[in-house]
């Protein structure tokens, strides 16, 4: 007795995951050209709760991308304008230093420019040397003269050894040395070394705003200011 052949088992249907579909569409960009009705018939979920066609979804995506690009462009334009304005102020500072004919005029011009052009709420210039050598200058809260090894400068040892600009909040001992009775009003500080390895001294610019000078900000413009002031002061 013969028996009929067993029916052949059908092969399991291939499972199409997201990657498989995406790769197929990438490799066959003419798929929707061959199936234009499908392009219009596909309904995709919309954030409003309804559905939209694939074409409408693409248009919405392009509009969102366009808005993102415009926002980024506006941010870049704004940054460029701020940098241009800052470069102009640094240029004006350099010209003012060239025009100053004496140490007294240079110091007065530095303080005035810092307050007017760089929005400094407080500023202190610390020069290393013998205070007697500066006795003829008008007394000012802006200028502090002390030997580099003076014990009152101990809180700034790490900053001076590194010789790089520093921005952010500073220790209470540093604020009190620099700003005295105004120390409590200072929220953030920029410290600029002057001269090679800070051998001339340093400049401290204080702001009432705790976020005005922060550790993550670029210090390129501070370095340029420090270089300009170092050359200007070295003339006297």
Domains and CATH numbers, the chain: 21-99 (no CATH), 101-234 (3.30.450.40)
Predicted confidence (pLDDT) per residue in 149-172, tens digit:
999 999 999 999 999 999 999 999
pLDDT below 70 — which residues of the chain?
Answer: 1-15, 39-40, 43-55, 57
Q: Which residues contact 197 (CB under 8 A, 6 or more apart)?
A: 163
- What gap in Å lies between CA 235 and CA 102, rounded to an integer? 9
Predicted confidence (pLDDT) per residue in 31-53, tens digit:
877 877 776 677 666 666 566 66
- What gap in Å lies between CA 143 and CA 135, rounded to an integer? 11
Residue 4, judged by CB atoms within 10 A of its CB (0-12, 13-18, 19+), counts as exposed
């Amino acid at each position: 007795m013969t028996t009929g052949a067993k029916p052949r088992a059908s092969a399991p249907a291939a499972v199409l995951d997201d990657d498989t579909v995406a790769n197929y569409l990438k490799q066959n960009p003419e798929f929707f050209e061959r199936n234009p009705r499908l392009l219009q018939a596909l309904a995709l979920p919309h954030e409003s709760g309804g559905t939209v066609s694939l074409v409408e979804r693409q248009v919405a995506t392009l509009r969102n991308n366009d808005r993102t690009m415009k926002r980024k462009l506006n941010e870049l334009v704004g940054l460029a304008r701020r940098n241009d304005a800052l470069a102009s102020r640094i240029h004006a500072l350099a010209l003012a230093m060239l025009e100053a004919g004496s140490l007294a005029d240079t110091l007065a011009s530095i303080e005035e420019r810092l307050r007017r052009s760089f929005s400094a709420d407080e500023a202190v210039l610390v020069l290393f040397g013998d205070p007697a050598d500066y006795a003829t200058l008008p007394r000012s809260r802006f200028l502090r003269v002390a030997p580099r090894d003076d014990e009152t400068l101990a809180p700034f040892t790490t900053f001076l050894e590194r010789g790089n600009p520093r921005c952010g909040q500073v220790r209470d001992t540093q604020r009190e040395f620099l700003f005295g009775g105004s120390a409590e009003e200072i929220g953030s500080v920029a410290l600029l070394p002057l001269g090679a390895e800070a051998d001339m001294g340093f400049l401290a610019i204080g702001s009432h705003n705790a976020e005005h000078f922060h550790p993550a900000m670029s210090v390129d413009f501070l370095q340029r200011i420090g270089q300009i002031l170092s050359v200007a002061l070295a003339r006297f």
